[in-house]
Structure 1
Amino acid sequence: MGTDTELPPHVLIFPLPMQGHINSMLKLAELFCLANLHVTMLLSEYTHGRLRRHANIESRFSRYPGFRVATIPDGLPEDHPRVGERTMEIVMSLLKVGGAEFRKLMETTDALSDGGGKDEGKYDYWKKEELDLMVTSVCGNGGLSPATRSSSVCRVNDVNDPGFQTIIRETRRTALSSGLILNSFEDLEGPILDQIRKPIPNLYSIGPLHTHLKARLESQKSEESSLPSSSFYEEDRSSMSWLDSQPAKSVLYVSFGSVTLLTRNELLEFWYGLVNSGHKFLWVMRPDSIVGDNKDNPNSAELEEGTKERGYLVGWVPQNEVLAHPSVGAFFTHSGWNSTLEGIAAGMPMICWPYFADQTINSRFVSDVWKVGLDMKDSCDRVIVERMVRT
């Protein structure tokens, strides 16, 4: 290269283009930047557009000269919903087009030109619970198997299902990596992490990432010590003003994440259960979260009219700020891994209604192992909702 100057390590991060994965990966990228590493974040063009509209990723990372964003298409049309059970279509499409697009990117960019070619180390990052396929039993928790209850990750009607086979293949490939970075921590999952270390000794549990990053920013007296947004949706700050007017520990925060879909019947069962509980609640209801004919679905205005006395409906919120607010006393969640860790870190008792993927496993651990919440399993009944909120 004509110089003896040693360049810092360069990390390429390629998250699954879904909000939960990108959210934690951006935190990991910022931690790497704070350690003076160069980072290239590879995003799909679609997710990059969503982040630019609602999270201002360029401004967030502008103070890190070693950070850059590269994009590739995900192969899906712009109007693809990218939510619910159809999220697996993102993975399958990337498998078709991603490899060729990635190679094309590497041929036309200097993103990793100084990385050393084929000798680069490959470190996998997982949100932890996706790796439970590698664990058949866990010492120290009574032989409870993480994958005994039906889950769309662990059980399918056809073992040759392409999505299922992809998950198995990628999980097995993880053992071939130079190391594994997990958004978890020893005090929470020590026995499970010990099991994963058997096939993958170089395991680094650095979670919860959101508290880790916040502590690092505060230690450096950063002007941006609060956690920046990584949202695909516009955050409604009016929710914080509403919380300011509520008594301490009086509000149930309700959010089912960025990809969960509700039927009209499920929506009404939750609504009646929450209203009948008599407790105040802040409910995040994404504009794309209801399936079916929109003409048959109750709109937010109708629901708001019926919840004026004790409920507040919003499209999206800054979740960590909400969970840290003194008015919030519990968390009704879909049990996504990020939300589960954020709820635990905030000391929130949780009511869990898992939707798919690793969420059924997460909710089971919340209720049966860590004993910090209640698991609704796959039930959706107003009487059960009311009873659990009152508990």
Structure 2
Amino acid sequence: MGGEENQVHIFFFPFMAHGHMIPTIDMAKLFASRGVKATIVTTPLNAPLVSRTIQRSKGLGFDINIKTIKFPAVEVGLPEGCENADSITSHETQGEMTKKVFMATTMLQQPLEKLLQECHPDCLIADMFLPWTTDAAAKFGIPRLVFHGISCFSLCASDCLNRYKPYKKVSSDSELFVVPELPGDIKFTSKQLPDYMKQNVETDFTRLIQKVRESSLKSYGIVVNSFYELESDYANFFKELGRKAWHIGPVSLCNREFEDKAQRGKEASIDEHECLKWLDSKKPNSVVYICFGTVDKFSDSQLKEIAIALEASGQQFIWVVRKDKKAKDNEEWLPEGFEKRMESKGLIIRGWAPQVVILDHEAIGGFVTHCGWNSTIEGIAAGKPMVTWPVSAEQFFNEKLVTDVLKIGVAVGVQQWVTVYGDKIASGAVEKAVTRIMTGEEAKEMRSRVEALGGMAKRAIEEDGSSYSNLNALIEELRGRRH
């Protein structure tokens, strides 16, 4: 690699939310494993979330560090110590508080510029939700790459929908329409599209999305947590739009050791070894894993429907529920005596689960997911068929990729995009979908397709694989810009 002076230095600046931070940290580790000097920029209270991982990486000889900048929580009216979008708990104030988090991030421009001036990195990879970073980096002649944290398929679908607005030409919000120009004859209803896409009135969020779009177009390019073979039609389509993108994923696969997989994100609410011991006692492909990401919340009545469905399906399961076990007796979302009856069949994890460790286990035969991109790509990399249950963001796009394009999953039947609480689905539909990915011919076919994709994912990040080569090309391009 040559000496210090030849070493490429990259700043990584994730948005302060677990779903954005985890893949960014994985990405920083990936670049560092290629001899890049990686600096993660975050705020004091978010630093501990990444420091364990960083310490382990440094132990492997990676050049990876953290720089912190003060987060102006109090200045924007957030409680002291609220520096992460996930620390907002009450739903009533969620919209207001999230607005304040975004406002606070815009106030980080000056301190970031100071760091850029001091360190003058070769590149800044910043989250899509920090659109002002394109201009901040440009002041110092530093290229900014955008990390959207979503699939190339979703980037292409959004682009076509924004350009042609086909949802304006339908007679009702439940009428299907084809997305113009997008490969694969993809159909949506207007109900399934994000509110901010269809709004005629300007809101803070639609303004932010507009800025995200503009700053992406002005940026040097995009890094995608995906691999070329998974969505080649869409990678090619994106290139034809004249946009630069590097597929360098799945970034979660940079975690090879058990500890690395187990320690991504927050402290797990269950002992990883206990969890594995439980899985080790099960037959291959006999357990369904249910988890709806870090943000989406379900009502008690919906959780109850899921519980009823799991019991009726007769499948063994690991179910992650974002609920504290404070009032043990008052868990109204659980049917009477459910846990007692399910003792050997099911495991409920309340809180944070070591997802990659669980998905990688051979006992897991299927994954019920909200279709956040992190979960979707982790499910694909682990070779698990999915039940898709999208809620918000670009999750309905990921559902179409899984069910219609890749044909590695079945939809639970959600029709309506919402911000937080999922669409109400009856236990019968949940039971049917779970059974479809776990047993029978169709399940077998989906499993063999997704296992093949999982194999491709692993090859993509190995030497000479597509993601490996893309990453090398990007590093060399950045090195070349200096001379």
TM class by smaller structure: 0.7 to 0.9
Between stretches 25-34 and 92-101, larger displacement belongs to 92-101
Cα 1:36–1:108 change in 2 (3 A) is closer
Of 88, 107, 115 in structure 1, the residue corresponding to residue 114 of structure 2 is: 107
State the secondary structure of the residue aligned to 1:119.
coil
Q: Deviations over 1:115-163 (max 9, x none)?
A: 6961111111122346342234454312x15785523365455531211
In the alignment of these two chains, the number of paired residues is: 373
Cα 1:296–1:210 change in 2 (3 A) is closer
> Is 1:337 the counterpart of 2:373 in the alignment?
yes
Partner of 1:134: 159
Cα 1:152–1:60 change in 2 (3 A) is farther
Cα 1:234–1:114 change in 2 (3 A) is closer
Partner of 1:381: 426
Q: Deviations over 1:60-92 (max 9, x none)?
A: 233334422324316232468436977766663
Deviation at 1:281, TM superposition (A): 0.5
Q: In structure 1, give the amino acid aligned to 2:68.
A: A
> Is 1:68 the counterpart of 2:94 in the alignment?
no
Cα distance in 2 between the residues matched to 1:258 and 1:302: 27
Between stretches 353-362 and 309-318, larger displacement belongs to 309-318
Cα distance in 2 between the residues matched to 1:188 and 1:147: 25
Between stretches 353-362 and 304-313, larger displacement belongs to 304-313
Between stretches 158-167 and 324-333, larger displacement belongs to 158-167
Q: In structure 2, give the amino acid aligned to 1:380.
A: I
User: Following superposition of structure 1 onto structure 2, how do residues 266-285 of structure 1 map, counting pairs within 5 Å?
Assistant: 266-285=302-321
Deviation at 1:328, TM superposition (A): 1.0
Cα distance in 1 between the residues matched to 2:225 and 2:16: 17
Deviation at 1:379, TM superposition (A): 4.5
Gaps of 5+ in 2: 123-136, 162-179, 415-422, 437-483
Cα distance in 1 between the residues matched to 2:118 and 2:334: 46
Cα distance in 1 between the residues matched to 2:424 and 2:245: 36
Deviation at 1:258, TM superposition (A): 1.0
C-alpha contact 1:285 1:314 (8 A) present in aligned 2: yes
Cα distance in 2 between the residues matched to 1:82 and 1:289: 19
Q: Deviations over 1:223-270 (max 9, x none)?
A: 789536221242522221111111221110111111111111011011
User: Following superposition of structure 1 onto structure 2, how do residues 245-256 of structure 1 map, counting pairs within 5 Å?
Assistant: 245-256=281-292
Partner of 1:44: 43
Gaps of 5+ in 1: 218-222
Cα distance in 1 between the residues matched to 2:38 and 2:226: 22
Partner of 2:53: 57
CA RMSD of aligned residues (A): 3.3
State the secondary structure of the residue aligned to 2:359.
helix
Of 217, 235, 238 in structure 2, the residue corresponding to residue 196 of structure 1 is: 238
User: Following superposition of structure 1 onto structure 2, how do residues 161-240 of structure 1 map, counting pairs within 5 Å?
Assistant: 161-211=203-253, 213-214=254-255, 227=261, 229-236=263-270, 237=272, 238-240=274-276
> Is 1:257 the counterpart of 2:293 in the alignment?
yes
Cα distance in 2 between the residues matched to 1:119 and 1:262: 46
Q: In structure 1, give the amino acid aligned to 2:66.
A: R
Q: Deviations over 1:291-316 (max 9, x none)?
A: xxx95744799652342242111133
Q: In structure 2, give the amino acid aligned to 1:387.
A: K
Cα 1:260–1:359 change in 2 (3 A) is same
Of 336, 340, 343 in structure 2, the residue corresponding to residue 305 of structure 1 is: 340
Cα 1:201–1:81 change in 2 (3 A) is closer
Partner of 2:23: 24
C-alpha contact 1:42 1:70 (8 A) present in aligned 2: yes
Partner of 1:98: 105
Cα distance in 1 between the residues matched to 2:341 and 2:118: 53
Partner of 1:220: none
Cα distance in 1 between the residues matched to 2:95 and 2:248: 27
Cα distance in 2 between the residues matched to 1:247 and 1:269: 26
Cα distance in 1 between the residues matched to 2:280 and 2:142: 50
Cα distance in 2 between the residues matched to 1:45 and 1:184: 30
State the secondary structure of the residue aligned to 2:24.
helix
Cα distance in 2 between the residues matched to 1:146 and 1:60: 44
Cα 1:289–1:265 change in 2 (3 A) is farther
Of 184, 196, 201 in structure 2, the residue corresponding to residue 159 of structure 1 is: 201
Cα distance in 2 between the residues matched to 1:296 and 1:149: 32
Q: In structure 1, give the amino acid aligned to 2:143.
A: G
State the secondary structure of the residue aligned to 2:41.
strand
* Structure with greater proportional helix content: 2
Identity across the alignment (%): 23
**TM-score when normalising by structure 2:** 0.69
Cα distance in 2 between the residues matched to 1:350 and 1:196: 26
Partner of 2:475: none
Of 280, 284, 289 in structure 2, the residue corresponding to residue 244 of structure 1 is: 280
Between stretches 123-132 and 164-173, larger displacement belongs to 123-132
Cα distance in 2 between the residues matched to 1:302 and 1:51: 39
Deviation at 1:193, TM superposition (A): 1.9
Cα distance in 1 between the residues matched to 2:364 and 2:16: 30
Between stretches 275-284 and 67-76, larger displacement belongs to 67-76
State the secondary structure of the residue aligned to 1:344.
helix
